[in-house]
Amino acid sequence: MRQDTWHPADFVKYEALGNNYVVVDPRYAAFAPLPENVRRVCDRNRGLGADGLLYGPLPAADGFRLLTFNADGSECGGSGNGLRIFAWYLRESGHTEADVMTLRTPSGTSTATIVDADSGVVRVGLGTARPDSGAVGARGPARTMLREPLDAAGRRWEAGCVRLGSPHCVLPLADAPADAGLARRVGAAVSSHDLFPDRINVELLHVTDRENLSIEVFERVAGHVPASGSGAAAAAYVAHARGLSGPRVTVHMPGGRVTVDIGEDGAVSLTGEVGPVLRGHWAPRLARSLSG
């Protein structure tokens, strides 16, 4: 990573396993992260096209603060891939030369580590998993939701629900890995289920062995996506909590793979590659459409 090749830009777009975010730095931004602006930037026909927008770094007493937005303009508590992308941006743009940095989001504080500066491997702590109904945002009495009976898409599931930055519903499959068609059908039914009034992200999980898992992801905003960092972490946590896998696993997704580590205290970390896609400046016509 060579700092002398960096030039200020209005935006930078990165991808992590096909999950892509636009980073907008307040130093260069000509607009506020209003919902309508986020939607315009992320629009795949009239904007840059992205799964979301990362806005920062913002002033903080220590570390680096950021806001994460979904493509529909809603604010997201935290994204595993988004945090890794933002850490890489901080190093690449010269905000820091440190290998370890503190990231602050509305969901809490995370530690990010540049594991390999040549290949873009970044590890980020996602905090402690919370499998309780209050954290997940589920209806009904307070309860742990690691084995939650759920009727959806024509069958009964034994779902594992957990919050890691955002809420996730993990659906284990016994026989074979899911495909995209199954993920879209089941994901749409579960994400909008009455049990989850604010909707939920869905992961269809297949355990290959104690060190390897595969998932298909349906996000509550973006729909079927090639990968999700926090989704991979949620699936690994549920598999480990049920005794199906060890504390370190490789999670395989259509977009690629990540490593998830689970501590004895339930703290989860995520390691994988990040890559730049493009950086540039707003065309005058688009810039005029981005307000305040």
Q: Crossing angle of helices 229-241/80-92, nearest 10°?
A: 130
Alpha carbon distance 137, 101 (integer Å)? 30
Does 212 belong to an annotated binding site?
no
Alpha carbon distance 115, 118 (integer Å)? 9
Alpha carbon distance 93, 156 (integer Å)? 49
The tally of CA atoms less than 13 A away on the side-chain side of residue 148 is: 28
The domain segmentation of the chain, as residue ranges, is 3-120+275-289, 128-271
Give the number of other Cβ atoms within 10 Å of residue 4's Cβ.
6
* Token digits of residue 216: 């298909």
Model pLDDT, residue 14? 96
Does 229 belong to an annotated binding site?
yes
Does 230 belong to an annotated binding site?
yes
CATH class of the domain comprising 128-271: alpha beta
* Residues in a beta bridge with 185: none
Provide φ and ψ at 90, rounded to 5°: -60, -40
pLDDT tens-digit profile, the chain (292 residues): 444 455 678 999 999 988 899 999 998 887 899 999 999 999 999 999 999 999 999 999 899 999 999 999 999 877 889 999 999 999 999 999 999 999 999 888 999 999 999 999 999 999 999 999 999 999 999 999 999 999 999 999 999 999 998 999 999 998 889 999 999 999 999 999 999 999 999 999 999 999 999 999 999 988 999 999 999 999 999 999 999 999 999 999 999 999 999 999 889 999 999 999 999 999 888 888 887 6
Model pLDDT, residue 4? 46
Alpha carbon distance 12, 22 (integer Å)? 6
For residue 14, which of 50, 40, 66 has the smallest C-alpha distance? 50
Cβ neighbours for 98, distance < 8 A, ≥ 6 positions apart: none
Model pLDDT, residue 5? 56
Does 19 belong to an annotated binding site?
yes
CATH class of the domain comprising 3-120+275-289: alpha beta
Does 256 belong to an annotated binding site?
no
Give, in order, the Cα–Cα distances in Å from 48 to each of 30, 38, 40, 57, 120. 16, 10, 8, 21, 23
Give the number of other Cβ atoms within 10 Å of residue 127's Cβ.
21
Alpha carbon distance 167, 272 (integer Å)? 21
